[in-house]
C-alpha cells in the first residue's frame, strides 16, 4: 500500500515543533500502538474516532513518518514507530506517576517494557521464577532478556537501552549502582553410573578424571581453579564450553565431570538425571549482583521492579 508523502522539516523547524509539542499526542500514539486500531484507541482515550485520526495526522507530520499503516491485522507500526514506542511509554509512565498523588508505581496496569542483561546463571536460576511471579502481579509488563555483553553493556545501561544487569562483579564506576541479591557455592556433577565415582567425590578422583569447564569470559580465574592452585594442583580440562547449560548434556554422555554454581547444578542434576557431589576442596561463596545506572534511581517503575527482583532473590 502506498503511504502518503510527508513534508520534511529543517533542524530549526524540528526544534521549534518540539518546543510547542502537544503532549496529548503521545497518549494517542501509545493507545494506537497498544490497540492497533483507531476505533479501539478512541474508546481507550474516551475520544471520538475523527479526533484520534486528526491526532495521528499531526503525529505523522511531526515525525515525518506514517507511523502506522493499515494491514490485515490492523494498524501495523512502522520501524520508526517501534523505535519511539518504548521511550514514549516510559515518558507517559513517569509523567503519570509524577502528577499522581500516589507515591507507588501502578504495576498492575503498567504495559512498560524492561530489558535485562543476564548470563546463563540468572537466566536459569532466577529469571523463570521472577517471570512467574511477575505474570501474576503485573501481567502487562513486558521483559526482554539479552546476554551480558561486557564493556558494551555499561554504555547501554547509561543510555537506558538496558534497565538492569546481573553479574558476578560490580561495575567500578561512581555512576553505577549494585546490590548483592544472593550468594552461591559450587557443586560438581557426574553421570549416575560413572565407573570411577561412588558415594563421595575424593580429591584424588577429582584430579584423576577429566573435566568440562566454562571457557574464560574475562581475565578472572574460576574459584575451583584458584582453590586448587593454592595447593599446587590443577584440573585436567578436556572440554571448554561457552555456557554453563552446555555442561550437563556432555557430562551425561561421558565420564567427564563439571563444577558449577550450586543452584544451577541442582536444577541440571534433576533435569538430566546427574549425580551431585560436594567438591573435594573448599571454596568461598560468590556473590550475584543486580546492577543499574544512577539515572534510573528516581524512576518509580524501575525502583519498584528492582526492589521486587531483590526481594524474590532473597527468598531463593
pLDDT of residue 160: 86
HSE-CB at 14 with a 13 A cutoff on CA atoms is 7
What is the value of pTM for the model shown? Answer: 0.65
Distance CA 300, CA 165 (A): 18
Residue 18: pLDDT above 70? Answer: no
Residue length of the chain: 316
pLDDT of residue 291: 94
Whether residue 48 contacts residue 42, with contact meaning beta carbons closer than 8 Å, is answered with yes
Residue 5: pLDDT above 60? Answer: no
Average confidence (pLDDT) over 20-33: 85
pLDDT of residue 13: 38
C-alpha cell belonging to residue 65: 513518518
C-alpha cell belonging to residue 14: 524540528
Domains of the chain in sequence order: 11-99 (1.10.10.10), 107-182+288-315 (3.40.190.10), 186-283 (3.40.190.10)
Whether residue 85 contacts residue 99, with contact meaning beta carbons closer than 8 Å, is answered with no
User: Which of 157, 170, 164 lies closest to 143, judged by CA?
Assistant: 164
- What is the overall mean pLDDT for the chain? 86
Whether residue 129 contacts residue 312, with contact meaning beta carbons closer than 8 Å, is answered with yes
Note the pLDDT tens digit of each residue in 165-207. 998 888 878 889 999 999 999 999 999 999 999 889 999 999 9
Distance CA 68, CA 56 (A): 9
pLDDT of residue 92: 79
Q: What are phi and psi for residue 254, nearest 5 degrees?
A: -140, -175
pLDDT of residue 20: 63
Classified as helix, coil or strand, 116 is strand
The more confidently predicted of residues 142 and 72 is 142
HSE-CB at 170 with a 13 A cutoff on CA atoms is 10
pLDDT of residue 15: 41
Distance CA 135, CA 137 (A): 6
Q: What are phi and psi for residue 289, nearest 5 degrees?
A: -110, 140
Average confidence (pLDDT) over 24-50: 88
Note the pLDDT tens digit of each residue in 213-267. 998 877 778 999 999 999 999 999 999 999 898 999 999 999 999 999 999 999 9
Note the pLDDT tens digit of each residue in 259-304. 999 999 999 999 999 999 999 999 999 999 999 999 898 888 999 9
Amino acid at each position: 500500500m502506498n503511504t502518503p508523502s510527508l513534508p520534511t522539516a529543517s533542524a530549526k523547524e524540528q526544534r521549534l515543533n518540539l518546543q510547542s509539542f502537544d503532549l496529548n499526542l503521545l497518549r494517542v500514539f501509545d493507545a494506537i500502538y497498544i490497540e492497533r486500531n483507531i476505533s479501539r484507541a478512541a474508546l481507550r482515550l474516551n475520544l471520538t474516532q475523527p479526533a484520534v485520526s486528526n491526532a495521528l495526522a499531526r503525529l505523522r507530520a511531526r515525525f515525518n513518518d506514517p507511523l502506522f499503516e493499515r494491514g490485515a491485522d490492523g494498524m501495523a507500526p512502522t520501524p520508526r514507530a517501534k523505535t519511539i514506542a518504548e521511550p514514549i511509554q516510559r515518558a507517559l509512565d513517569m509523567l503519570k506517576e509524577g502528577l499522581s498523588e500516589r507515591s507507588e508505581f501502578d504495576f498492575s496496569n503498567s504495559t512498560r517494557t524492561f530489558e535485562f542483561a543476564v548470563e546463563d546463571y540468572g537466566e536459569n536460576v532466577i529469571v523463570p521464577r521472577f517471570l512467574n511471579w511477575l505474570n501474576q502481579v503485573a501481567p502487562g509488563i513486558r521483559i526482554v532478556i539479552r546476554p551480558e555483553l561486557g564493556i558494551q553493556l555499561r554504555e547501554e545501561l547509561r543510555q537506558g537501552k538496558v534497565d538492569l544487569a546481573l553479574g558476578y562483579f560490580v561495575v567500578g564506576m561512581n555512576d553505577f549502582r549494585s546490590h548483592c541479591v544472593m550468594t552461591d557455592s559450587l557443586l560438581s556433577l557426574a553421570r549416575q553410573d560413572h565407573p570411577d565415582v561412588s558415594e563421595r567425590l575424593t580429591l584424588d578422583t577429582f584430579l584423576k578424571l577429566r573435566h568440562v569447564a566454562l571457557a574464560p569470559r574475562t581475565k578472572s580465574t574460576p574459584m575451583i581453579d584458584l582453590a586448587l592452585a593454592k595447593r599446587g594442583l590443577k584440573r585436567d580440562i578436556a572440554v571448554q564450553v561457552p555456557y554453563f547449560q552446555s555442561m550437563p548434556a556432555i557430562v551425561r554422555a561421558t565420564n567427564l565431570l563439571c563444577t558449577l554454581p550450586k543452584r544451577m547444578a541442582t536444577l541440571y542434576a534433576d533435569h538430566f538425571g546427574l549425580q551431585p557431589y560436594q567438591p573435594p576442596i573448599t571454596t568461598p561463596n560468590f556473590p550475584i549482583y543486580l546492577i543499574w545506572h544512577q539515572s534510573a534511581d528516581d524512576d518509580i517503575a524501575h525502583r519498584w521492579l528492582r526492589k521486587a527482583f531483590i526481594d524474590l532473590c532473597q527468598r531463593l
